[in-house]
Amino acid sequence: MGRILASVALLAVLAASPLRAAEPLVADLSDHLVAITTGFSGADVLLFGATDQEGDVVVVVRGASRRVIMHRKSRVLGVWVNTASMTFDRVPSFYAVAASRPLDLIAGEQVLSRHELGLENVRLDLPRAKASPNVAKQWRDALLRNQAKANLYQTVIRPVSFLGNRLFRAEFHLPANVPTGAYQVQVYLLHDGRMISAQTTPLIVSKIGLQAEVYDFAQNQGALYGVIAILIALVAGWLGNVAFRRS
């Protein structure tokens, strides 16, 4: 309820103050930090904004780019083994889109492709020397399927709702397995298929509390973390054996 009231208040401020000619689009998030704590089950991110003219609004949430190695398994002598692999150097860790109308009604393929609007327009380049166009498409489609299956790429375009002629809002859901990192929330204003304005707002997804400390320790002191984990497992096994004998 508090977040909704804050959003309504900010929308009221946007409506009360006219936008300058240099800023046909303004937008912001209800919260710029998504904190992952113990028991985290996902989070909703609310974006709100205003425009100074008619048009369509498209919002894209992109996670930080990372390297992804894909493997293809084949059956060899009755055993499934990795027989091929491909490396994507720059893959968004998360991708979701919201739009005021279907994307194909907002702009043409050239504009959508240039700004990577829509899952089919996300650039996932592969080395030309390693992948012909047909092979590259197969690897790309497999990567998109895997990301969508993990709920990290959202295949359904969420709505951008207008409150009157100028105010708009959109809401996204981040799943429980959302990767940490610096995200970008990109907001676009289009009219008659042309890009009028764009704005990028940062969003941080971060672990906090005990979970964050354990994660950082495991990343920075991997060997020591492994030794401690083994010792804890041995002690837990010994205590379980003692309890079993007494019973």
Distance CA 80, CA 239 (A): 39
One domain for residues 28 and 96:
yes
Q: What is the pTM of this model?
A: 0.75
Owning domain of residue 87: 2-206
- Assign 6 a pLDDT band (cuts: 50, 70, 90): very low
The count of structural domains within the chain is 2
50 or 126, higher pLDDT:
50
Residue 48 has pLDDT above 70, yes or no: yes
Mean per-residue pLDDT of the chain: 80
Residue 18 has pLDDT above 70, yes or no: no
CATH value at residue 133:
2.60.40.1930
Outline where the chain has alpha helix (H).
2-16, 103-106, 109-114, 133-149, 210-220, 222-246
One domain for residues 171 and 228:
no
One domain for residues 162 and 242:
no
Phi, psi of 23 (to 5 degrees): -130, 75
One domain for residues 61 and 174:
yes
Distance CA 102, CA 104 (A): 6
Distance CA 150, CA 160 (A): 24
> Which whole-number Å values give the CA distances from 152 to 36, 78, 96, 134, 207, in the listed order?
16, 33, 8, 25, 17
Q: What confidence tens digit (pLDDT) does each residue in 138-157 have?
A: 888 889 999 999 999 999 99
Closest CA to 94 of 76, 131, 128, 119: 119
- Assign 187 a pLDDT band (cuts: 50, 70, 90): very high
- Assign 87 a pLDDT band (cuts: 50, 70, 90): confident
- Assign 20 a pLDDT band (cuts: 50, 70, 90): very low
- Assign 63 a pLDDT band (cuts: 50, 70, 90): very high
Distance of CA 160 to the CA centre of its chain: 17
